[in-house]
Structure formats: structure tokens, C-alpha cells
């Protein structure tokens, strides 16, 4: 009951989606009609549909790397929006001279819209929220940020014989950006992500309850060295601890739990060379 996307014939789980270094397992709301990312808080987005750099290893189809804004550092600002589909509230501003905050939240309202105007019930609802605090050291290029992201979808039928479904993303990260030397920039991310999906059969006699949980803790560090010739050297490492848990009830009423844990360790070195108007990535 949720949407996926496919790139170059690959499977849906072969796409790597990152938000400020946090891995996101389901980027859609409402069967793919809405993105879980609010465009007003996005700073940039990189999309690789092939030939992506070595530091984005572990996926085969595509990489989507999204960065969020730090928030307004000079003044307070707010934004509220209400339409027939969703409601939204966004706040941002400086907490102190070197600390700024941005927070946003959205919630669906289209079920009430359909009920009021078309006299039909849409059993789907969703919400998402992001909060990010950024600290910049005075007289320095160093920057520290803490962010958390949450999204949830619920599909609840009024028919007691129809099952209810829910799925949600929960992620948090601590990120450090530091210019150690004049030409050496370091980025380090400690992140944790969790994806839950569940099915409640209610009064159904043919459908059994089930749930899936994916958890992953990641430590990632990446360094960039700049040269006089504008060539770039990248090197770093990535250590992640993913785990999957699947719970189900068999037709005989027996509850089973299947688990899988497979730590992943990777490192890379990359050379980006400028040759006139051409660029070589090794």
C-alpha cells in the first residue's frame, strides 16, 4: 500500500536516499502523491542515476543526496499554510549569535475535504516533521548541527474486515563540518534511522498481523583536499550496522520472528581532475 520508484530497471530497495546524512527508506506519502520532504526547507539535492561516486557505495540503481537549510541566522521568520490537501507550520530564526534553528511540520487534511465536498471517506492520513539546530563557531569555518526527522502514514478502513496499515520513518543525526587546514575540509556524520511498517487485520479471518522494522546506525567521515590546480582528493570511511526484523503470524496461529543483521564497512579514495572543460573522476 505504499509507493516505490525504480531506476534503470533496478529494484526499489537499490536506491540510496539521504537527508542530511540520514538514510530514508520510504520517501513518499499517500501512494506517491506527496513527497515526505518539504521543499521549503531544502537547500540542495543531488541525483545520481548511474556512475555515482565511490563514497555512495552500497546501492546499485541511484543516489539522492538532500541537504536541508540551516535556518535564518539574522531574524525570526514563520510560515503557515492551509489548503484542501494539507496544513503546514514552519518557524526559523537565531537562538543566539551563533546558534540558529529551523522547524517545520505538515499534516494531511484531504480526508476531511473529500468527506465535506464529495461525501466520500478517504481513510489515508499522514504527517511529517523536521527540526534542525546549527551552531557555528565564531571566527571559524567549523559548523555543528543536530537534526531529527519523522514521517508517518496511516491507512485505516472503516470496514472491520479490512486491515489497517501504517508505516513511518524516524531518523536523527549529528553532523560536523570543519576546515582543519587551509585546503583540508572534513565532514563527519553520526546517524540513526528506523523504518516501521505494520498490518493490523482487525476482525478479518483471512489476513494475519505482520510488522517489519529496519534499523541502521551509521558512522561516516569524508575528507576533501583542494590543490592549486583545482584538482580534488576525497577519502573517507563508512561503518553501518543495519538490522531487519519481520514478525508474522502463520495460518496455524503461531507467531514467528525473522531477524537479520549484517554490518557493513567501506572506505574510498577518489581523485577529481580538471582538464580544460573536461573533468575526470577516478
Q: What is the pLDDT of residue 206?
A: 86
Q: What is the pLDDT of residue 220?
A: 95
**Which residue, among 169, 168, 163, has the nearest Cα to 199 in the 3D structure?**
163
Grid coordinates representing 72?
535564518
**Which residue, among 63, 60, 2, has the nearest Cα to 36 in the 3D structure?**
2
| Rounded-to-integer distance, Cα 127 and Cα 108, Å | 6
**Which residue, among 259, 217, 221, 260, has the nearest Cα to 240 in the 3D structure?**
217
Q: What is the pLDDT of residue 2?
A: 60
Residues 6+ apart with CB under 8 A from 85: 34, 108, 109, 110, 113
User: pTM for this structure?
Assistant: 0.89
**Which residue, among 270, 169, 281, has the nearest Cα to 216 in the 3D structure?**
169
**In order along the chain (282 residues), what is the average pLDDT of each group of 10 residues?**
77 89 88 84 90 78 93 92 90 94 92 68 87 91 94 89 92 95 92 95 89 95 89 93 92 88 91 85 83
Q: What is the pLDDT of residue 117?
A: 64
Q: DSSP secondary structure string, 211-274? A: EEEEEEEEEEEEEEEE-TTS-EEEEEEEEEEEEEEEEEE-TTS-EEEEEEE--EEEEEEEEEEE
| Rounded-to-integer distance, Cα 84 and Cα 108, Å | 9
Q: What is the pLDDT of residue 141?
A: 82
| Rounded-to-integer distance, Cα 59 and Cα 39, Å | 25
Q: What is the pLDDT of residue 173?
A: 97
Amino acid at each position: 500500500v505504499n509507493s516505490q520508484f525504480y531506476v534503470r530497471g533496478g529494484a526499489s530497495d537499490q536506491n540510496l536516499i539521504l537527508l542530511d546524512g540520514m538514510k530514508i527508506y520510504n520517501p513518499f506519502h499517500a501512494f506517491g502523491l506527496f513527497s515526505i520532504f518539504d521543499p521549503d526547507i531544502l537547500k540542495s539535492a543531488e541525483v545520481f542515476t548511474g556512475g555515482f561516486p565511490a563514497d555512495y557505495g552500497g546501492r546499485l540503481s541511484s543516489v539522492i543526496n538532500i541537504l536541508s537549510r540551516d535556518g535564518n541566522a539574522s531574524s525570526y521568520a514563520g510560515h503557515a499554510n492551509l489548503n484542501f490537501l494539507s496544513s503546514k507550520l514552519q518557524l526559523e530564526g537565531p537562538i543566539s549569535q551563533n546558534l540558529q534553528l529551523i522547524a517545520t511540520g505538515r499534516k494531511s487534511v484531504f480526508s476531511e475535504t473529500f468527506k465535506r465536498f464529495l461525501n466520500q471517506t478517504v481513510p489515508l492520513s499522514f504527517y511529517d516533521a523536521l527540526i534542525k539546530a546549527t551552531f557555528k563557531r565564531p571566527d571559524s569555518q567549523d559548523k555543528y548541527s543536530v537534526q531529527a526527522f519523522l514521517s508517518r502514514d496511516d491507512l485505516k478502513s472503516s470496514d472491520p474486515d479490512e486491515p489497517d496499515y501504517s508505516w513511518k520513518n524516524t531518523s536523527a543525526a549529528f553532523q560536523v563540518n570543519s576546515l582543519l587546514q587551509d585546503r583540508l575540509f572534513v565532514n563527519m556524520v553520526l546517524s540513526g534511522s528506523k523504518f516501521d511498517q505494520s498490518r493490523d487485520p482487525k476482525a478479518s479471518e483471512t489476513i494475519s498481523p505482520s510488522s517489519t522494522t529496519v534499523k541502521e546506525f551509521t558512522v561516516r567521515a569524508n575528507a576533501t583536499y583542494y590543490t592549486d590546480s583545482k584538482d580534488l582528493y576525497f577519502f573517507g570511511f563508512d561503518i553501518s550496522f543495519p538490522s531487519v526484523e519481520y514478525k508474522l503470524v502463520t495460518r496455524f496461529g503461531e507467531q514467528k520472528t525473522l531477524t537479520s543483521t549484517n554490518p557493513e564497512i567501506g572506505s574510498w579514495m577518489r581523485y577529481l581532475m580538471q582538464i580544460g572543460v573536461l573533468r575526470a573522476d577516478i
